[in-house]
Amino acid sequence: MGLEELSEFEKKVFDYCTQHDFEADKWDTAKAAEDLGMEKKAVYEALCNLQKHMKGRFYIYYKNGGLRVQAE
């Protein structure tokens, strides 16, 4: 799946993740939702869909007490 096939919310979350270093800093869904002007539920849904459809370009994992997100 390419970026052109993502929903508006998924694109917003993907772009947000590429602009921040969530490998070094823990992911914070509440802050992301506030920054993006989205509901937390929409952010969670976008994260799930990105993990599923952007294999090899989007990763979510747990490290040092928090979620980490990497987008390429």
pLDDT of residue 50: 93
Per residue in 11-44, pLDDT (tens digit) is: 999 999 999 999 999 999 999 999 999 999 999 9
pLDDT of residue 72: 86
**Does pLDDT of 1 surpass 70?**
no
Interhelix angle 8-19/29-36, nearest 10 degrees: 110
**Gap between the Cα atoms of 19 and 13, Å rounded:** 10
**Does pLDDT of 2 surpass 80?**
no
**Does pLDDT of 6 surpass 90?**
no
Of 44 and 3, the structure prediction assigns the larger pLDDT to 44
Domains and CATH numbers, the chain: 7-71 (1.10.10.10)
